[in-house]
Chains A and B, each alone.
Chain A
Amino acid sequence: MTICNDMTLAAIEPDAGLAAALKLDRAGVIGEIRRSGMKGRGGAGFPTGVKWNLAAAAQGDRKFIVCNADEGEPGTFKDRVILTEWPGRVFEGMTIAGYAVGATEGILYLRGEYAYLRHGLEQCLAKRREEHLLGNDICGKTGFGFDVRIHMGAGAYVCGEETALIESLEGRRGEARNRPPFPVNTGLGGMPTIVNNVETFAWATAILARGADWFKAIGTEQSTGPKMLSVSGDVERPGVYEFPLGTPIREVLRAAGGEDAKAVVVGGASGQCVPANRFARTVSYEDVATGGAVIVFGPGRNMLDVAENFLEFFVDESCGQCTPCRIGNVKLLEGVRRLKRGECSTQQLRELRALGETMRVASKCGLGQSSPNAFLSIIEHFRREIPSRVPVTVEA
């Protein structure tokens, strides 16, 4: 997958962040991350410094640093690029996190389909051990030990959700846990656990290397720093881009050659659909948040097909645990198909929209909570594409 513009990460000196971190005390490292204002790059956008601080304060015989490399969101592939180009950065970031919260064990949870990356990643780990960047007394810092092992995922989208990921690590079905308690307190094996996205760890190294002020200067006040985006769909130059957060969607489209798009779905299957007349909206936590996926739909696309496609995905990928998600997605999918056939009454459409609202608030985890997003936003913005209904009586 092509890298399409200049990547800040390429310019950061390897392991400068780790060296800088080890000169600080633990609180100092967390303070720097907090000051940077960085929010998680995996999608949910939780402030990374706050998460690290909670895990540092939590009591536990062991603590774990987990890197979420499950990258299962349709249309997301920027983590794959990071793991291919700069795997050392990811392990460096995990090591910094380990130092900051007092963890000695790291786990990279690697998407099953990325098995081909494993060999390179293992080599990178071996090299880092040789160079005393992993193992005991890292960089000569007595008493600080940290190592990373790789755990392969097995192809379930839900295992990207952090608590389902932990269940999977523990050898069980990938299913979201009840929260609270949160992983920072009660994670892997009941121990305090940090789960962060691949990109989050990579940026953590840059923050330590260049300072929080440098990071904060990029992006907006609430969305600091650069963000990698996976741009795909009806564009001339699909690939991985880096933009400062707060960049308007229009600009992303211009860079990728997709100005004539009728809509983009930002955030993948679980993201929201933005129609052309809203392309001034920005990619940022305060506006259109994303873990990195920008899927572009050209003028010829039928948006109901898009909704159908995404819902088919959720019908299969729901973990099947909770009612709103497991059955709700089936009902939304049936509804979209009825819409496509022109067989959905306004009454039924209203019911489906209300059901979507219920799924958002009543599902157990982020999967179910975000699964109706695309459907709801397409219904909202593309009313004219909904074939005029054929009046049918409501089934008994």
Chain B
Amino acid sequence: MRQQDPPPAGTGHAPVRRPSQATDVPHGGDLIGALVSVTIDDHTVKVPVGTTILDAARRVGVHIPTLCHHDDLCVAGVCRVCVVEVEGQRTLQASCAYPITQPTTVRTHTRQVRQARRHIIDLLLSEHAGECTTCFRNGNCELQALAKEYGVDSFRFGRPDRPRHKVDRSSHAVVRDMNKCVLCRRCVRTCIDLQEVGVLEAVGRGEATTIATYLDKPLAEMICINCGQCINRCPTGALRANDPTDEVWAAIDDPTKHVVIQTAPSPRAGIGEEFGLEPGTPMTWEMNTALRRCGFDKVFDTNFTADLTIIEEGTELVLRLHKNLVQGDSSLPLPQFTSCSPGWIKYVEHFYPQYLPHVSTCKSPQQMFGALIKTWYAQLHGIDPAGIVSVALMPCSAKKFECNRPEMCDSGYKDVDYGLTTRELAQMIREAGIHLTEMPRSDFDDPFGTASGSGVIFGATGGVMEAALRSVIEFVTGKKVEDFYAHADIVPVRGFEGCRHAEVQIPKEVGPVPGLIRHLVPDWNWLKGATLKVGVVHGTANARKVMEDIKAGGPFSQCHFIEFMACPGGCLGGGGQPIPTGPAIRAARARAIYAEDAAYGEAGKARKSHDNPAVLRLYQEFLTDGPCGHKSHHLLHTHYTPRGKYIG
């Protein structure tokens, strides 16, 4: 058959949609920024012209129920749950989509409004083949919550007597059960507008409308990047991650298995939300104890390999720079792209395969760790690697796909056996009857020990770049980062702006090349006075912008190093994190992460990757030919698959 561009089914053009229409202000110009008065029930308030009724209501503390609305997404106005009465309008208006442009009077719970909302909820339930008791969203489902809020006590318009759709379990990352779908289209807006990937789209008309992939093919065959952002925004249980907890429990229960778990920084900043804590309450040390009580034999800190990544990827960058700037050899082109986000990797493989040579060959911290656990760690402790079950606790659904890549077996075994999300671990902890918040605190296990603060900040957008810069600056200048940036906080690369630029001026004075990489570069003279240009990008919609900018020879093409994260906010906003998500929740998680980094400094622990004693020990004892050496290449580096967008 003819090859076709899969997204968005039928339209065949780039899946870019205009942002929220609702804030469009007719006649523009002079009205922008003007205030207009709105009366919502008993509250009168002035809001900027173009504010939606929903936002205005929130401002005065009036609750309007919503379902298809999401703070991260463009307006849809399709579920109609948020309808209100607007004086002078014949019909009810969707408050999420109605911009206030003139003095307006709104009533949010008249008889007609209540009846309409109740009808809408009843109609949704009539099509929702959900069995609350057997659903992973039980207790955290927006439809369930609405049913409770509106006192639904019967299926007034019936309910499905049998499933209409086959559950798609093809993907390692995302399971789709369209029987539970309420057609809010948040996943579509996530995939098309927020991430600009475009795997999911509404197809069919009328009663036959469904959310589907191109030709309804299995997700595993699509250009899905496994970011799981759709899962985080699904109001029901229609989308979930591919859950390996049964297998993990089975391994724990098997006395012949040595079950180890590595934990990434973001789950610690998020897991508290699963237990009713405020977003941004870190649970690092309590979680360590909980993991041990669950039965994991060892608890390791993925930040160890985050630090290792900085050394390897930083060395690779130095080598690329030297090749390009000194030797005039552009076979390994600049800018170098980071490689720790598996969603980003699959995105490049599909959308920009010609740019794969820019991507660092370093494996992600998860996979580096996997390769080391079944080699170095096994050797050190005299454990048969065949008996090791290696689990990775990640904020991420793409990590599940990543650990199943066929090339990720460099230890001679499957390097990482299971990728577990924050949500899934929370489930295991609940199941084990453990009260996470009451756990005594405990540290990570050796030989990897506690990592540096730089490893921790990998969880936030800009973190990898900041960690890399801390090391590069010290390597090249021979001075402390603190001499340039107070408390080693490289603030210019922090924040949530989608695409960021920063420049680091290398002083005229450079230091000696540190021993670790002295065999690779003779001196730093060639970097004297140079300006190191870096970029930080999160969310693949922003990645697309930057890639197009690079293609067009724009400012990002002048960068030397760019950090890309597939998920908005970086890993802390990953597809395996607690639901719900939103800008405020992600900001709170980021605060927790930066606070942990700062705490490392206050406690006198390492804050820079190259100061991590365990990393140094690794190079002394195991990776003896140094960063980017032969052994490191074998275990810690990888290659990519140009996939393209076309699906046969």
Chain A interface residues toward B at CB < 8 A: 57-59, 156, 158, 171-173, 177-178, 180-182, 185-186, 190, 314-324, 326-331, 334, 351, 354-355, 357-358, 360-364, 369, 394-396
Contact = CB atoms under 8 A, between A and B. Distances in A.
| Interface of chain B, main secondary structure | loop
Contact of B21 (A178, A354, A355): A178
Given A331-B126, A396-B154, A171 B11 contact: yes
B77 interface: yes
B115 A354 contact: yes
B11 A321 contact: no
A178 B127 CA distance: 24
Contact of A327 (B77, B81, B92, B123): B123
Interface stretch (B155-163, B389-397, B636-644): B155-163
A346 to B, nearest CB: 15
Interface stretch (B94-102, B256-264, B402-410, B592-600): B94-102
Interface stretch (B200-208, B237-245, B603-611): B200-208
B158 A317 contact: no
A13 to B, nearest CB: 38
Nearest to B121: A323
23 contacts: A58-B27, A158-B205, A173-B10, A178-B21, A180-B98, A181-B24, A186-B26, A319-B205, A320-B209, A323-B79, A323-B120, A323-B123, A323-B124, A324-B116, A324-B120, A324-B123, A327-B157, A358-B119, A360-B91, A361-B116, A363-B91, A364-B77, A364-B94
Interface string B6-39: 0000111100001001101011110000000000
A227 B124 CA distance: 41
Q: Which 6 A-B pairs have the closest CB atoms?
A: A320-B209, A178-B97, A327-B123, A362-B116, A358-B119, A318-B206
- Sort chain B's interface into a size bin: 35 or more
Contact of B99 (A58, A156, A180, A319): A180
Nearest to A328: B123
B205 A156 contact: yes
B285 to A, nearest CB: 46
Contacts of A357: 112, 115
A185 B120 contact: no
B372 interface: no
Interface in B365-422: none
A12 to B, nearest CB: 35
A395 B209 CA distance: 26
Contacts of B24: 180-181, 185-186
Given A181-B21, A362-B83, A362-B91, A327 B126 contact: yes
Contacts of A362: 80, 83, 91-92, 116, 119-120
A185 B208 CA distance: 33
A289 to B, nearest CB: 13
Contacts of B21: 177-178, 181, 186
A156 B10 CA distance: 14
Nearest to B201: A173
A318 B206 CA distance: 4
B209 A326 contact: yes
B217 to A, nearest CB: 19
B206 A315 contact: yes
A317 B80 contact: no
Contacts of A334: 158
B206 A317 contact: yes
A173 B155 contact: no
B142 to A, nearest CB: 14
Contacts of A171: 11-13
Contacts of A330: 207
Contacts of A156: 205
A270 B206 CA distance: 16
Given A331-B157, A358-B115, A323 B78 contact: yes
B91 A178 contact: no
A334 B123 CA distance: 13
Nearest to A355: B119
Given A185-B26, A360-B91, A320 B79 contact: no
B183 interface: yes
Given A178-B22, A316-B205, A320-B207, 7 more contacts: A59-B28, A171-B13, A323-B80, A324-B119, A329-B206, A334-B158, A360-B91
Nearest to A317: B206
Contacts of A315: 206-207
Interface in B127-143: 127
A41 B154 CA distance: 44
A322 B78 contact: yes
Nearest to A362: B116
A58 B24 CA distance: 13
A324 B12 CA distance: 30
A322 B97 CA distance: 13
B543 interface: no
A152 to B, nearest CB: 15
A355 B118 CA distance: 10
B143 to A, nearest CB: 11
A192 to B, nearest CB: 10
Contacts of B123: 323-324, 327-328, 331
Among B10, B18, B154, B209, find the residue whose CB has the most chain A CB atoms closer than 10 A: B209
A327 to B, nearest CB: 4
Contacts of A355: 119, 157
B93 to A, nearest CB: 9
Interface in B167-194: 183
B225 interface: no
Contacts of B204: 320
A323 B146 CA distance: 15
A160 to B, nearest CB: 14
B206 A326 contact: yes
Nearest to A394: B154
B83 A173 contact: no
Nearest to B126: A327
A327 B124 contact: yes
B80 A324 contact: yes
Contact of A361 (B92, B124, B208): B92
Given A320-B205, A395-B158, A361 B112 contact: yes
A180 B101 contact: yes
B80 A322 contact: yes
A317 B207 CA distance: 8
